[in-house]
Structure 1
């Protein structure tokens, strides 16, 4: 943006900009005198990424945007229109541009270089105050947007994993209820067959007791796939010898721990013509019981996941600090990220100190810390297709120490000093906003704690220390 144009801008035009409308006229006139009027065409670069931030822009006409390259793709991070003041502002910590500026509409702007602005800072209090307010508002709004993006990305990751985890037990319930209906349909016919058997109670009682004994054996033999297949073949041969052709019965009996010896003992307890209907009745009851158990387990799993979500979000608690078991938060976070651990073929190793006292923290915010650190560790190991995540806790004087260690490729030395900076990220577009570790650092400072990182190829360690007496 180098084209200087001859155009008159008045103090009244500047006063029409709300953010500097209360600045005295003489100070606005100084700003006009210290600036030049420049224009740029649509598509033209106003500045490049990484340039020194040395100019203040007041956009009079047109628009421009700031874009960053992330994961090989362009990501727009800000858009400025008429009346916007941006670029170098007093006391800003920003030294370099985070991306490149590109005109989206033909633009005319008032441009004041940093050297002149520094003179104005010394001489013109109200103008400086107004520009500082613009800067703090810009940082606050930009940070809020990026934090919201970070939360939405984290929510997307958690919801994807949660949906997968909920889908499995939900599908099991649907599948098993359908099978249960089929079993119940067989009951009328089985009842007729059982009713036709002439057995008195003295014969029925030992049969019932023996079946219960077999089903409830505490230790069922552990069989390989080959051994199980052989057992099913043997059971099927026995059933065929007794004119029973229900091939699924062999599988059910094998599941419940029946052997040929068990069937022979059972046959010796009842008449030959009773064995088929009794085994059919037994088979139906065993399948029905197993389906009910599977449905109960699936429902328990769904209830457990919902409970984990509730605990994770602390939806039933105040936002104030609460005395909590630090392990509960970490373990709930691991439950929420369990799908991602499985998908990444990650082995989890936990070493939690048993004697840690409760510490006073904001539970929801601490869950953000564990989510970001664990999620980043899993992402780092994703490259190699597997890995080991180690999480340990211990008491260190008046602090609780939490170590989260992964065996990924490590953090390059040249970027290690920047990983806690706002908006810095090495992830592809759509996977991160660069606010995750900044949020982590802010939350830990808010709890009067510290976070440190050590990294080398094959081992990256994040150490979080939180005070016991917070």
Structure 2
């Protein structure tokens, strides 16, 4: 065991300006401990002890997130850890394990009041260590929280992007197959004799139907009835493949009357090949429409991702429509919201002027609160999330309300504390709402919560122009 004396403590930069008598007091009052390699020193929820000064070996601090071990920091010889004077943290937020044969000098907690009262310079040195540790760890946790938020979104985004991407691949393959020439149909088409007036009339009737884009949405029963009517008409007019091609005409809401109008422009002997050819055109049109919709869905998602992260903007406060950020957040969490059978009610004051803020950071606020609300409503198997925006003089107020089971009154005062979480081990860090509060404070605002069973309301308020 290494001997710890004044000379050794004075070799640490943090104690350079601490009087010798105060350092000697620390040595006399502390316990010089040896701990075996791999021994767990503390776990989440344990009361913090110390301060501890690592002399030999090390202490590895880690957390369990999503079932995996995440190493946070390792303290080596000369590092100071544990409870420090004036620290707000009273319990451990993770695990600590000895690395190698650990030797450390530990001051008992009951000596902290005497340390603060009688040894100013030594206390000041420990407070300096604490302030550096808080700053570094806060930066780390903020980045970690962003990565966790990204992890939460990634699964949903993969699902959201996979659906339209798969549809594009499927429809493009089908379109390629569909566009191959059918020798029989091709022969029948080139043999058709039709004059210019009939062509013009057929064009007119076809595009009269195709130009209508706001068709009433049919129920399954109504759709089947329409297909049956079209099939019957084809059979009455000896149209080959009538049953098979009826679906494509139903897709574009052809009625029996519109079929009759088209038929009036076609020589009777040419009805069958002409309607089969029109069906081919309709199928091609439908596939192209589906590919366009799927492509637009992917483009919209990519735009939402870019706007959500605000990755194409400078990292300073800018004016922006707050509703765009909220809507982008709902898009990012769309899969989780639908999976949780959550209905979203949006009540926005569209007259609100642009808000000045760190838009990417504000999106993180909406993400954390909405994600927590969805998790809370999970126990009910369904729920309603209401998001309301309103103006209060020179402030904007955003209310996010869920009908989950609520937050128990006894823990309500603690929900913004660092590391405090009600989620199962590994599912939350306890930093989400602390990050929310910190970001809103950066915007000179406030975040409050009211909760009773069946209604939890987060109220975020900050100036329109920061």
TM-score (normalizing by structure 2): 0.90
Which of 444, 452, 461 aligns to 2:448? It is 452
Which of 160, 166, 171 aligns to 2:161? It is 166
In structure 2, C-alpha distance between the alignment counterparts of 1:414 and 1:67, rounded to whole Å: 29
Pair 1:55 & 2:42 matched? no
In structure 2, C-alpha distance between the alignment counterparts of 1:321 and 1:48, rounded to whole Å: 40
Which runs of 5 or more structure 1 residues have no equivalent in the other structure?
1-5
Cα distance, 1:61–1:371 mapped onto 2, change above 3 Å: same
Which of 427, 434, 440 aligns to 2:436? It is 440
Contact 1:63-1:82 within 8 A present in 2 as well? yes
Cα distance, 1:264–1:121 mapped onto 2, change above 3 Å: closer
Contact 1:71-1:428 within 8 A present in 2 as well? no
Q: How does 1:63-212 map to 2 (within 5 A)?
A: 63-65=58-60, 79-98=74-93, 102-103=97-98, 105-122=100-117, 124-186=119-181, 190-212=185-207
Deviation at 1:111, TM superposition (A): 1.9
Contact 1:53-1:87 within 8 A present in 2 as well? yes
Which residue is equivalent to 1:32? 27
Which residue is equivalent to 1:417? 413
Contact 1:403-1:462 within 8 A present in 2 as well? yes
Q: Secondary structure at the match of 1:95?
A: coil
Q: Secondary structure at the match of 1:451?
A: strand
Deviation at 1:198, TM superposition (A): 1.4
Contact 2:448-2:460 within 8 A present in 1 as well? yes
Cα distance, 1:65–1:57 mapped onto 2, change above 3 Å: same
Contact 1:73-1:429 within 8 A present in 2 as well? no
Pair 1:364 & 2:360 matched? yes
In structure 1, C-alpha distance between the alignment counterparts of 2:24 and 2:430, rounded to whole Å: 40
Contact 1:150-1:432 within 8 A present in 2 as well? no
Which of 265, 268, 271 aligns to 1:269? It is 265
Which residue is equivalent to 2:400? 404
Deviates more, 1:80-89 or 1:380-389: 80-89
Deviation at 1:268, TM superposition (A): 3.7
Deviation at 1:383, TM superposition (A): 1.5
Deviation at 1:451, TM superposition (A): 0.9
Deviation at 1:313, TM superposition (A): 1.6
Which runs of 5 or more structure 2 residues have no equivalent in the other structure?
none
Q: What whole-Å deviation, never above 9, does each CA across 1:113-162 have from its counterpart, x for those lacking one?
A: 24545444455554333322221222223223322221111001222222
Aligned-CA RMSD value: 2.9
In structure 2, C-alpha distance between the alignment counterparts of 1:326 and 1:318, rounded to whole Å: 17
Deviates more, 1:119-128 or 1:226-235: 119-128
Deviation at 1:98, TM superposition (A): 4.2
Which of 283, 286, 291 aligns to 1:290? It is 286
In structure 2, C-alpha distance between the alignment counterparts of 1:122 and 1:251, rounded to whole Å: 87
In structure 2, C-alpha distance between the alignment counterparts of 1:66 and 1:412, rounded to whole Å: 31
Q: Secondary structure at the match of 1:32?
A: helix
Cα distance, 1:366–1:100 mapped onto 2, change above 3 Å: closer
Q: Secondary structure at the match of 1:389?
A: strand
In structure 1, C-alpha distance between the alignment counterparts of 2:44 and 2:425, rounded to whole Å: 17
In structure 1, C-alpha distance between the alignment counterparts of 2:97 and 2:62, rounded to whole Å: 8
Which residue is equivalent to 1:379? 375
Deviation at 1:45, TM superposition (A): 5.5
TM-score (normalizing by structure 1): 0.89
Which residue is equivalent to 1:3? none
Contact 2:42-2:95 within 8 A present in 1 as well? yes
Equivalenced residues, count: 465
Deviation at 1:105, TM superposition (A): 4.3
Cα distance, 1:191–1:445 mapped onto 2, change above 3 Å: same
